[in-house]
A and B are shown apart, each in its own frame.
Chain A
Amino acid sequence: AQSVTQLGSHVSVSEGALVLLRCNYSSSVPPYLFWYVQYPNQGLQLLLKYTTGATLVKGINGFEAEFKKSETSFHLTKPSAHMSDAAEYFCAVSYGGATNKLIFGTGTLLAVQP
């Protein structure tokens, strides 16, 4: 079965430090790839997505992710963390087709220390 793995359920960084959240998918067929962010007691907000074309994708709030087919990865990065980035981040994949099901990873809770 297709799956998404997010390494590290909790990640803590200092304000101003690099943010790196890891995501790997299990499929030989490249999927559509998404990162969502969830702030406390709120719904899901799309950060960025990869469908086709350029493998380096820029999203909102200074985040970006790079699709690496050879590594089946789609890691999320931000050069300099801000306190407002503290949230839970979900990687998700879809293979399109008739069902368009979106499969989520288990999430990474990002803490930003002052």
Chain B
Amino acid sequence: NAGVTQTPKFQVLKTGQSMTLQCAQDMNHNSMYWYRQDPGMGLRLIYYSASEGTTDKGEVPNGYNVSRLNKREFSLRLESAAPSQTSVYFCASVGQGAQFYGYTFGSGTRLTVV
């Protein structure tokens, strides 16, 4: 099925633990994004990759790192998880000129840090 696949769907971490959220798209899109969603704050951009080989900070990058492994995959890493990182994380992608078709979102990862 064409689209954006995120893993895992749910995760509970202890404070200080690390983990990597995985995202893969099979639509040959150039640009990929990581957002976090918190109540009352909408979706905020953490990091993005405009094209393979490039990554840039978004609105809320502190505490996160990313890797654009290849054109398909864009991972988000929490090196030392904090309770403030409890959130729902969404990955999205869009192709060149594909803003006419909208952005495609994954189904999300619900992360709880205790």
Contacts and interface: CB of A to CB of B under 8 A. Distances in A.
Interface of A: 6, 9, 32, 34, 42-44, 46, 49, 51, 90, 92, 94, 96, 98-107
Given A43-B106, A46-B102, A105 B42 contact: yes
Contact of B40 (A32, A92, A106): A106
Contacts, number: 57
A49 B50 contact: no
Interface residues of B, number: 25
Contacts of B58: 101
Interface of A is mostly: loop
Nearest to A97: B50
A43 B40 CA distance: 16
24 contacts: A32-B100, A34-B103, A42-B107, A43-B106, A43-B108, A44-B90, A49-B102, A90-B42, A90-B43, A94-B99, A94-B103, A98-B50, A98-B51, A99-B31, A99-B50, A100-B94, A101-B58, A102-B92, A102-B94, A102-B103, A104-B43, A106-B40, A106-B42, A107-B42
Interface in B34-50: 35, 40-45, 48, 50
B33 interface: yes
A101 B44 CA distance: 11
A97 to B, nearest CB: 9
B54 to A, nearest CB: 9
A80 B35 CA distance: 32
Contacts of A106: 40-42
A100 B99 contact: yes
Interface of B: 31, 33, 35, 40-45, 48, 50-51, 56, 58, 90, 92, 94, 99-100, 102-103, 105-108
Nearest to A43: B107
A1 B44 CA distance: 14
Contacts of A44: 43, 90, 105
Given A44-B105, A107-B42, A102 B100 contact: no
Given A99-B50, A100-B94, 6 more contacts: A32-B99, A34-B102, A49-B100, A90-B43, A99-B56, A101-B33
